[in-house]
Amino acid sequence: ETGVTQSPTHLIKTRGQQVTLRCSSQSGHNTVSWYQQALGQGPQFIFQYYREEENGRGNFPPRFSGLQFPNYSSELNVNALELDDSALYLCASSYLGRPGNEQFFGPGTRLTVL
Amino acid sequence: GESVGLHLPTLSVQEGDNSIINCAYSNSASDYFIWYKQESGKGPQFIIDIRSNMDKRQGQRVTVLLNKTVKHLSLQIAATQPGDSAVYFCAEIKNSGGSNYKLTFGKGTLLTVNP
Q: Which residue of A has its CA nearest to B89?
A: A42
Cβ separation A41–B101 shorter than 8 A:
no
Res B42 pLDDT > 60: yes
- Specify the higher pLDDT residue, A56 or A91: A91
Q: What is the mean pLDDT of chain A?
A: 92
Res B97 pLDDT > 80: no
Res A66 pLDDT > 70: yes
* B32: nearest CB among A4, A45, A100: A100
pLDDT band at B5 (very low <50, low <70, confident <90, very high): very low
Cβ separation A107–B6 shorter than 8 A:
no
pLDDT band at A2 (very low <50, low <70, confident <90, very high): low
pLDDT of residue A100: 57
Is the previous residue joined to A8 through a cis bond, with omega within 30 degrees of 0? yes
Res B1 pLDDT > 60: no
What is the C-alpha to C-alpha distance for residues A72 and A23, in angstroms, rounded to an integer? 9
* B5: nearest CB among A38, A55, A97: A38
Q: Quick check: A41 contacting B, CB < 8 Å? A: yes
What is the C-alpha to C-alpha distance for residues B46 and B92, in angstroms, rounded to an integer? 13
Q: Please, which residues have CB within 8 angstroms of residue A15's CB and are 6 or more apart in sequence?
A: A81, A82, A83, A113, A114
* A90: nearest CB among B4, B43, B93: B43
Which stretch, A93-107, B18-32, B60-74, has highest mean pLDDT? B60-74
Q: Across residues A69-78, what is the average pLDDT?
A: 95
Stretch 36-75 of chain B: residues touching chain A, C-beta under 8 Å: 41-46, 49
CB B80 within 8 A of CB B13: yes
pLDDT of residue B6: 45
Cβ separation A99–B101 shorter than 8 A:
yes
Res B8 pLDDT > 80: no
Helix (H, G, I), strand (E, B) or coil at B83: helix
Q: Calculate what percentage of chain A has a pLDDT beyond 70.
A: 94
